[in-house]
Structure 1
């Protein structure tokens, strides 16, 4: 896994053990072809592509063969430089290669509680969002995000996400520390799906079609940044395919890895592009319990320091014609600036042309009232 200091060209660094499967996660399709371990102690079952949880969705039943072609798209990911992803795949898996062809990795885990709605008490956020404009549409979102491991207790979470939304439907990806979700305190990739009455993380409900045999949607991110030392970053993206209207989860920059996708047919409003996108940190804590740190956990000073504060850079969206552009017409959002703040520093902060549109965000937390 590559190291990088902020200000240099970003090199992609992103990429519970239990004895029984949670039937609520893998459902009736849970027979693994084999099981493999990561170097971080996670056990994954390699599930046949056709038998993954996605195809329990009522709108996707008996349609696995239609989507099998996307296995090839995921397995052939290369960057503009022609680099393959083999090097950092070997960093993830003990076997150095992931699951066999035709299968996808699904983490073996214990039961977890249903996710809380962000509208409930105890959630706080800081970041930027697009302004409401009935004319504008978006077909993707991405950002390079610094990776941290904020301290939380067993009832809390701390995360960073990018989001696309149309009406009540939205999908997210990013990283989070969430012991309720993951049964550990590690920093992990996550996806979140909110469609109709369905809302869940990762593969906890059917709908997201996992296509990569070697990249889990909940992979552990290691190493993470430490204040005053090396800053580790990862590139996250969600992009709509102009022909199928499927929304793809993309990880990395060079190469871009197509991990899987949300099929267009599970959506109503999001089939027709997004009307709103967001880049933000978010924390949760039960009311009365001091809220956890966000990002690096330090308050934003007047003089920003990219070796101390959490940041997102190369913040972009895809416009209505699927063109990648620097995010514009955005506004800051922060519901408690004394505890979690955001500074939008615009384009090319301090002359760093490769940074593009950037923000600094985060804070120490400590809120006890909603």
Structure 2
């Protein structure tokens, strides 16, 4: 099964500093047999209430200001390995919302869910009026690829002062049958979809989009706050920043365009930072602006000195 149409995006990575590299992921030569898909064993994950906690969750995001019709959202997320405690998590994601429904995809370090596993993994989160879950733990996301688990290990992650490692995440709606599809990386084939009928409002379209970081802190933890992204607030030091770049949406006409009507938001500006800006891209060796790009810089706990 595949969507009737995949909106076309232009590449942004060639124009960005630090030579960003799209990292490989998936099972490669160890894909599941035809007709089957990779699912993590239940004894490797915690059977927990996956409704996201409200207290002690901190975000640093770019979010749309007012409701609009969105048929997709996409961004390249640089991959990091933030330090977290055993009862904490840290993630970066893109989000498509139409209350009470929302879907997210990105990367996470989540030893709560993965029973002590501190690696950086891809994740999916689904919330509807009736249910919420990670990955494929509830009737929601339908995986169709035999070679890409929804919790794929993401390595190498981006080291401060090193080259960027990133993954391109793309959520879009097949407006003919109202399913929401997920495409990851530069592969033309989506990895799966959310059936439109599981949603109350999101089956019609999205109304808000977000991109950025999220961290859950155990209030009893020592020594202190959970890292987000690279562990540094945004700064002029490009190599220590965490990025959500090439932030675009699919509009009502099913065309890809910049997300323009946004605001930077964090609920803890002492520990975490967020910058939200549209910057020019230049063509070749000239100073002619050929197009623009939406970039979100987020993260923190410690300032770069």
Q: TM-score under structure 2 normalisation?
A: 0.85
Normalized per residue, the structure richer in helix is: 1
Distance 1:234 1:140, change over 3 A: same
Following superposition, the deviation at residue 280 of structure 1 comes to: 1.7
What is the CA–CA distance in structure 2 between the aligned matches of 1:220 and 1:4, rounded to whole Å?
A: 25
Correspondence for 1:211: 144
Match of 1:194 among 124, 127, 151: 127
Correspondence for 1:158: 90
What is the CA–CA distance in structure 1 between the aligned matches of 2:88 and 2:290, rounded to whole Å?
A: 37
Distance 1:280 1:154, change over 3 A: same
Instruction: Report the secondary structure of 1:179's partner residue.
Output: coil
What is the CA–CA distance in structure 2 between the aligned matches of 1:242 and 1:291, rounded to whole Å?
A: 42
Following superposition, the deviation at residue 114 of structure 1 comes to: 2.2
Instruction: Report the secondary structure of 1:182's partner residue.
Output: coil
Higher RCO (C-alpha under 8 Å, 6+ residues apart):
2
Q: Which has the larger radius of gyration?
A: 1
What is the CA–CA distance in structure 2 between the aligned matches of 1:160 and 1:305, rounded to whole Å?
A: 20
Is the counterpart of residue 249 in structure 1 residue 206 in structure 2? Answer: no
Correspondence for 2:61: 127
Deviations 1:313-337 (A, max 9, x none): 1000111111100111001111111
Instruction: Report the secondary structure of 2:38's partner residue.
Output: strand
Correspondence for 2:6: none
* Unaligned segments of structure 2, at least 5 residues: 1-12
Deviations 1:272-305 (A, max 9, x none): 101111112000012243221100001223xx23
What is the CA–CA distance in structure 2 between the aligned matches of 1:156 and 1:354, rounded to whole Å?
A: 40
What is the CA–CA distance in structure 2 between the aligned matches of 1:182 and 1:229, rounded to whole Å?
A: 28
What is the CA–CA distance in structure 2 between the aligned matches of 1:365 and 1:194, rounded to whole Å?
A: 32
What is the CA–CA distance in structure 2 between the aligned matches of 1:223 and 1:355, rounded to whole Å?
A: 29
What is the CA–CA distance in structure 2 between the aligned matches of 1:177 and 1:104, rounded to whole Å?
A: 23
Normalized per residue, the structure richer in strand is: 2
Match of 2:204 among 258, 264, 272: 272
Q: Considering only aligned residues, what root-mean-square deviation do their CA atoms show, in Å?
A: 2.4
Match of 2:71 among 102, 120, 139: 139
What is the CA–CA distance in structure 1 between the aligned matches of 2:175 and 2:19, rounded to whole Å?
A: 29
Correspondence for 2:5: none
Deviations 1:313-369 (A, max 9, x none): 100011111110011100111111121111113123798978711011100169xxx
* Unaligned segments of structure 1, at least 5 residues: 16-88
Deviations 1:85-111 (A, max 9, x none): xxxx5xx44xx1411111111122424
Instruction: Report the secondary structure of 2:37's partner residue.
Output: strand
What is the CA–CA distance in structure 2 between the aligned matches of 1:328 and 1:119, rounded to whole Å?
A: 30
Alignment of 1:45-60 (within 5 A): none
In the alignment of these two chains, the number of paired residues is: 282
Is the counterpart of residue 102 in structure 1 residue 39 in structure 2? Answer: no
Instruction: Report the secondary structure of 2:112's partner residue.
Output: helix
What is the CA–CA distance in structure 2 between the aligned matches of 1:355 and 1:228, rounded to whole Å?
A: 25
Is the counterpart of residue 327 in structure 1 residue 242 in structure 2? Answer: no
